[in-house]
């Protein structure tokens, strides 16, 4: 197969990540209208997002292992069917518990079927520009706030939240099911190419050995702390801006600016990682993320939100793809779906903390200040852990 097809894989992966993550994070747009319409607490609704990430973590590990064994196409096909179904069911929920199960469990399980399998698949298609390619796949997450979130806000304004969520579920089917047909496994390298290919340090490890290695422990802890730091501020940013006096649609636009900046950040950080090395770029990004989160405590005007949204979106968006590149360099392609799925599981546990913590903080204090303070401290911890990354393996040639 022509290697130019690898860019089709990148495009399909970007679309899938956009739809999957965009629909999941659209709960932030639904939060206030749902609370007003149903009298469910913000913490109760936000806990559906916490469940999302908990299930997404376990699902990412399982889907990654299945993609290593059966290929990515069957995994993303199941995810596409399940995602639309979950949103349709959640839109009909008559109780908070029903909503938490349908949205929190099913959407999380479906969304996890795309990220690790498509990232692992993409790394198999690229020997050069791998950082850029992975960043482009994950760029769909950056596009999501510019597309799915405003669309959800428009649907809610034009109809109501149940109709909006139902329509987004149908849209997920329309977009994802055709994209599944584009997914192909990478061609096997020729014998001569295979003999001269660079070998990752852990390429010969079993899954058990890889998951117990120092490389994975540092990778997983850094990924966990990074996501724990930014998940709360991302999810509650719209509500926080509205609390500061920003109009609802303008508040959603802040979310969109973060997404646009995240798109640019992914491209920038991907190129920098290819040129300067993954580890120093990751550490710098994590440090910047922590400082920006703390800076939200001192702002209240829309232009100030926009300014920080550019920096915040670029940093949290830019660092996320780098974990997959590190995993590929440390462990090779053979078990990458499983290993990166396990790392994604830990990151999802981190992501699960922020939405629930933010909802509990707001319900207790009618303020988000303690959320931003705690998130900034965790962000500094992530940068500190990243410093402990073992050196990347030297690129060595196999001896024929």
Question: Considering the domain boundaries, does residue 52 fall inside one?
Answer: yes
Let me know: does 328 contact 336? Beta carbons within 8 Å: yes
**Is 338 exposed, middle or buried, given 0-12, 13-18 or 19+ CB atoms closer than 10 A?**
buried
* Of 94, 76, 97, residue with least CA distance to 19: 76
Residue 190 DSSP SS3: coil
Each residue's pLDDT expressed in tens, for the chain with a length of 400 residues: 456 888 898 889 989 988 988 888 788 788 888 888 888 887 788 788 778 877 887 887 788 888 888 888 999 999 999 999 999 999 998 889 999 899 989 998 998 888 888 888 888 888 777 777 887 887 777 677 678 888 888 898 888 889 999 999 999 999 999 999 999 888 775 444 444 444 455 556 777 888 888 888 899 899 999 999 998 888 888 888 888 888 877 887 887 788 778 878 888 888 888 888 888 999 999 999 999 999 998 888 888 899 999 999 899 888 888 888 888 888 877 777 788 888 878 887 888 788 778 888 888 887 888 999 999 999 999 999 999 887 765 544 333 3
Residue 397 DSSP SS3: strand
- Domain containing 116 equals 3-184+206-389
Name, in order, each residue with C-beta under 8 angstroms of 92's C-beta and a sequence gap of 6 or more: 162, 166
**d(C-alpha 4, C-alpha 237), whole Å:** 39
Let me know: does 299 contact 308? Beta carbons within 8 Å: yes
Residue 222 has what pLDDT? 93
Question: Considering the domain boundaries, does residue 85 fall inside one?
Answer: yes
Q: Which helix (H) or strand (E) holds 164?
A: helix 161-180
Question: Considering the domain boundaries, does residue 196 fall inside one?
Answer: no
Question: Considering the domain boundaries, does residue 141 fall inside one?
Answer: yes
Residue 130 has what pLDDT? 74
Question: Considering the domain boundaries, does residue 191 fall inside one?
Answer: no
- For residue 198, report the phi and psi dihedrals to the nearest 5 degrees: -65, 145
* Of 124, 138, 121, residue with least CA distance to 318: 138
When divided into structural domains, the chain yields a total of 1
Cα distances (Å, whole numbers) of residue 180 to 6, 73, 128, 184: 15, 6, 25, 9
Question: Considering the domain boundaries, does residue 258 fall inside one?
Answer: yes
Question: Considering the domain boundaries, does residue 334 fall inside one?
Answer: yes
CATH (domain of 149): 1.20.1250.20
pLDDT tens for each residue of 187-239: 775 444 444 444 455 556 777 888 888 888 899 899 999 999 998 888 888 88
CB count within 10 Å of CB 298 equals 9
Question: Considering the domain boundaries, does residue 124 fall inside one?
Answer: yes
């Amino acid at each position: 197969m022509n290697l130019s097809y690898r860019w089709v894989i990148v495009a399909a992966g970007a679309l899938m990540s956009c739809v999957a993550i965009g629909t999941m994070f659209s709960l932030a747009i639904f939060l206030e209208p749902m609370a007003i319409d149903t009298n469910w607490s913000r913490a109760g609704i936000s806990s559906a997002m916490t469940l999302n990430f908990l299930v997404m973590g376990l699902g990412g590990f399982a889907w990654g292992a299945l993609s290593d064994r059966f290929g990515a196409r069957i995994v993303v096909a199941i995810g596409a069917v399940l995602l639309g179904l979950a949103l349709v069911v959640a839109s009909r929920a008559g109780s908070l518990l029903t909503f938490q199960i349908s949205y929190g469990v099913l959407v999380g399980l479906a969304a996890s079927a795309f990220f690790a399998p498509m990232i692992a698949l993409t790394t198999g298609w690229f020997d050069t520009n791998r950082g850029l390619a992975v960043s482009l796949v994950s760029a769909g997450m950056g596009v999501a706030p510019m597309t799915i979130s405003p669309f959800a806000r428009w649907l809610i304004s034009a109809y109501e939240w149940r109709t909006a969520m139902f329509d987004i579920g149908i849209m997920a089917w329309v977009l994802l099911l055709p994209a599944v047909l584009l997914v192909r496994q990478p061609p096997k390298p020729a014998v001569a190419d295979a003999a001269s290919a660079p070998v990752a340090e852990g390429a010969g490890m079993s899954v058990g050995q890889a998951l117990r290695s120092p490389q994975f422990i540092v990778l997983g802890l850094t990924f966990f702390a990074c996501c724990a730091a930014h998940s709360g501020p991302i999810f509650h940013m719209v509500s926080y801006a509205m609390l500061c006096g920003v109009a609802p649609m303008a508040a959603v636009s802040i979310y969109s600016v973060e997404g646009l900046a995240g798109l640019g950040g992914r491209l920038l950080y991907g190129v920098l990682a290819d040129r300067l090395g993954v580890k120093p770029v990751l550490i710098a990004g994590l440090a910047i993320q922590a400082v920006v989160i703390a800076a939200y405590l001192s702002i209240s005007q829309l232009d100030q939100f926009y300014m920080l949204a550019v920096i915040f979106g670029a940093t949290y968006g830019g660092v996320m793809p780098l974990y997959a590149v590190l995993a590929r360099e440390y462990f090779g392609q053979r078990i990458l779906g499983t290993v990166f799925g396990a790392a994604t599981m830990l990151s999802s546990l981190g992501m699960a903390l922020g939405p629930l913590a933010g909802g509990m903080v707001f319900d207790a204090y009618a303020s988000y200040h303690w959320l931003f303070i705690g998130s900034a401290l965790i962000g500094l911890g992530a940068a500190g852990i990243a410093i402990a990354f073992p050196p990347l393996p030297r690129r060595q040639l196999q001896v024929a």
